[in-house]
Structure 1
Amino acid sequence: MDADMDYERPNVETIKCVVVGDNAVGKTRLICARACNTTLTQYQLLATHVPTVWAIDQYRVCQEVLERSRDVVDEVSVSLRLWDTFGDHHKDRRFAYGRSDVVVLCFSIANPNSLNHVKTMWCQEIKHFCPRTPVILVGCQLDLRYADLEAVNRARRPLARPIKRGDILPPERGREVAKELGIPYYETSVFDQFGIKDVFDNAIRAALISRRHLQFWKSHLKKVQKPLLQAPFLPPKAPPPVIRIPECPSTSINEAGYLLDNPLCADVVFILQENTQIFAHKIYLATSSSKFYDLFLMECEETPDFPESHCNKEKTHRNMLARTCSLETDSEGEAATLKTLNAKLVSSAEGYDSSARLELEAGEAGCLKQGLASWGKGFVSMHKEARVNPVSKRPCTVTIVKMDASVQPGPFKTVLQFLYTGQLDENEKDLNRVAQIAEILEVFDLRMMVENITNKEAFMNQEITKAFHVRKANRIKECLCKGTFSDVTFKLEDGNINAHKPLLICSCEWMSAMFGGSFVESSNSEVLLPNINKTSMQTVLDYLYTKQLSSSQELDTLELIALANRFCLPHLVALAEQHAVQELTKTSVSGVSIDGDVLYYLEIAQFHNAHQLAAWCLHYICTNYNSVCSKFRKEIKTKSPDNQEYFERHRWPPVWYLKEEDHYQRVKREREKEDIALNKHHSKRRWCFWNSSTVVA
């Protein structure tokens, strides 16, 4: 009923618009966008296909379609009737062409064949069925000109032909064909909602102008303009790439447990009953147990010939007397021996001679043996001994700790396993013995976990394990800062840093290969790392110990990236990339130009496999190409051919837009001149007509 009323309304022009073109060029999508206002994402548009089922009946059954068909163009009320057609060349479309007012001829800018068929097939068919009907040419799927074609091809239907970069047609190709045929040219994108109104409004104008020539008595058609120019589409800026941080590699608990079973870099040997030997590492034991921390610190204090990197001598000589007096002894002779040793230690701080030092070393083992028996249950003696490492086959000095016969190897090994990994097997057979040894060593976390397992409340052990790892991480960080219990010194360009081989082996494969293989560094206490500064190395060690990036004002991000890449630490590289982007962004927001910095960062990032930072730099250069190129044209030209090709392909605004903008402005000025000349001509004719009428009168 409403459709019939459109024909009966005065001054309402009904326009029949037929849309033709090859299959899959976007005809039906274009019609649906105009008639139904359908909006889908780009990948939804690509992944689904809308069959050609549109017909005139839609205007009768769908009120929304009928309402959207009504429009006002140049003060003329119109009702636009859209006709969809099949794209197969052999199909008969004469039913659609009948009594058409305008034909919209579509092709895809991503399909050169569809543009070739415009001249070879479609124009001939249109001239055959409706020779006097105006035609406009439309390039569909404009968004593919700047889209990521790899993502587009992945989203397309499985059997769809993949789109290649060379298939994308520039705007001038469609404009040349339109000029050759003498028809207007427009481009559209349903995804960007660009050009849809331009196409159909100007199709209506073309139809109304043609109708005005035949029905000249319709005065309301006098103000209809000829099809207008279409301003070029400026694609949106691509969003900057997000620096993605991969999952943080947690401290390898399995490797820590493996290290306990391996004498690699071991600096402690426990002697148990029947001469059973268990290798261990001071840094793991001291950071997990306060008892072992005090034991090894006491050993460090009572060994004056130890390197300064292994203990704090000032603290040693200040507190040695108090620590010695606090040891409970069984006889006055033991106390006298310890006091004599302490006096020699104090004198050694002020400058001891070689004879006193030799005398001290000779009596050291016996003194410690006497002290440990009363210092803690389960301990018998402790002394240093030169041995050959069974892995590296090189001489090394280890601390021999002899345990009491009540400490059995199996449960003691379970306790050490907990100190290394923070885990306890619920199926452990000797839980009671494990609890007893944990009580002796004052490992209260382990004792509580055994009680929870016994009481069938093992679920509470998760919180205990978390608290254990937090305390251990804090102690490890403290040991790194103070150099306590360190067994290796890195000789750097501007200083030295003390570190711990066992922790490095479990945190970094590069370090594991250096200290755990047959290299000389596995047995050396000093490692030379030339061309590396102390700040960057300290940051790397902080990361290896804590898995966090500790940034400082003195930190050189690019040098850190180079060092992290050298040590094969991709997670640290990503953290450094994120830090670099944040610093560059902060500088840019403050109003300082970062164009030169970004060019420098790009070169270093690509060289050291910082791919995310390189992608961010490429994006910045492309989106600010004009300003960067105006200042650093020579630097741009010195970049690699791949980078220059990337700049040309992704620069914003793109080259094709700049060309189209120039063409649009030029044609716009020409049309304005034509309109001015035409207005002058009409004014002159009206003036002549007025004068001639006056003379006749």
Structure 2
Amino acid sequence: MMQSVKVVVVGDGSVGKSCLLITYTTNAFPGEYIPTVFDNYGASVMVDGKPIMLGLWDTAGQEDYDRLRPLSYSQTDVFLTCFSSRVSLENARRKWREELDRHSPETPVLLVRCKNDLERELDEEASRVAREWPQCRGYYSTSALLGRGVREAMEEAVRVALSDGTRGMTKKKARSRWWLGRRERSPPPVMPEAGKAPELAVADDTFGEDLARLLRDGTARDVTIRVGGDELEAHKAVLCCASPVFRKLILDEPMRDYDKMLGAHQDNYGSTEALPARFEEEEEEDGAVVVVTDGTTAATVKALLVHWYTGKCEVDDVEAATRWGCAELVAAMANKRDGLEELNPSIETWLHERFGRAAADLLQKLTPDVTLAVEGCEREAHACLLAARSPVLRAALYSGAGGAQTRREARLTFDEVSPAALEAVISFACTRTANIDDDNALDVIAAADRFDLPRLSSLAEIYLCKRLDAAVSESIAKADVDFVELLCFARRHRASTLGGFLVHFIATNYLLFQDKRLRQRLPSEEDRAYVEEHQWPPKSYLDAVAAWEAKHKNKFSWRRFSSSSYRNNNNNNNTEIDPARG
């Protein structure tokens, strides 16, 4: 008969408890960190030739749950006390040892170090803590990221649980051992799992599609490529960032390291005479620079333009690709020939990254053609890239958006946009990246909403979600954040990722947020309905615990688990993040 073992994992917030369990049960490291409230995992494993049904209970380490967490300790076979730093090791020695000694004094413990790939000088100190803890049966060092020591620690936990003498006690005695009560007849109600947090996903990258539209409609064109009797319209800023040949032709700049593909030969073009084109400045109406080419057909040049703008590798002329310095196209054609076309999307990604690095490096050397002004700060930029990336800026810069515009505004002024947010918008439009930090994240979200840049907004939203994770790692109530006001800000600025994260966070930490004004403060009826439906712990569980306590007159008074008790004990006097910034 398969034996069952209950393992409960405790430790400070953010030390890596969830990653340890997920890596063990799935053999994969989780890509995103989601703070745990209370979660359960199950696995059927073989340990020393014996089949084991392993129940793994993950817990929240924040002090907000100090009164609720012990309800999950009933009938535990072994505890894993986790740490990842000197601070969390000291808390393991003090807080967690004291909590386990109080609520489950005879249950064995393993001390488990997580994230041993980050800090190395802890093993000796941790071993001493383990030796000084009577209930501790050993110390294990692990890295969920590297998969190091995880299985060994979990298998040892099973061995300790099976060999410990307390498993032979009667259920009645084991229960009284844990609860230390006088007349226990049944365990407390089983704590339900909290709902899973929504996935933190970055909005799709539309860089290639944006530049493809720019090429198609001719917006902001400033260069004409003449091939025989044909003329093709393009943009100097795009060509200089996407093509080392045009960079040499227009700016006389040499090839950079980021231009070179690993394992591919590329000419460095020591002089413009070696290029497959020549440069002429002609006084045309729109002040365009005319490039005349030799030896390449108009159809091939048109296909090359699509490649430079979008990253698509659909040219099939190896000689032309070689003459124009497109080693990536030669590689893509070889992949297609060898039946390895699935590799070509990675080439497209590499091209977009190269474009961004070139833009950061070179665009200041190419004369900007528009000035953006906010709050007394001015920034110069390239109109074609702004118009390609933001429909709002496109409409502001050009009349009759969607056609071949000829009138362009040389200066735009915006109110209620901070200089840091403007910097992020311009950087994102030109390089696909932006600097986002604690000081500008809210401003960036507001500006991204204003200029219709959903991917930029999602990058800032995910940054904020992770910062909020860090802010509540020790205590939610003491975090310097007004979560409800931040949710209102997210809804105002269409920040769906941040909004989804926050409304779930409020619902799954309901006892900390519940008061007579919560319903009125939530920004929409939809959010109110979500919180009521997904509140954790659910009302049915709270009622069951209250009934269980009334029946047994347990020393744990339900008042200790009430929302008012949570607020009073945690001194929830929050300082608000001001979402009106930006």
TM-score of the superposed pair, with normalisation by structure 2:
0.49
More helix by share: 1
Q: Larger radius of gyration, structure 1 or 2?
A: 1
Instruction: Considering Cα pairs closer than 8 Å and 6+ residues apart, tell me whether 1 or 2 has the greater RCO.
Output: 2
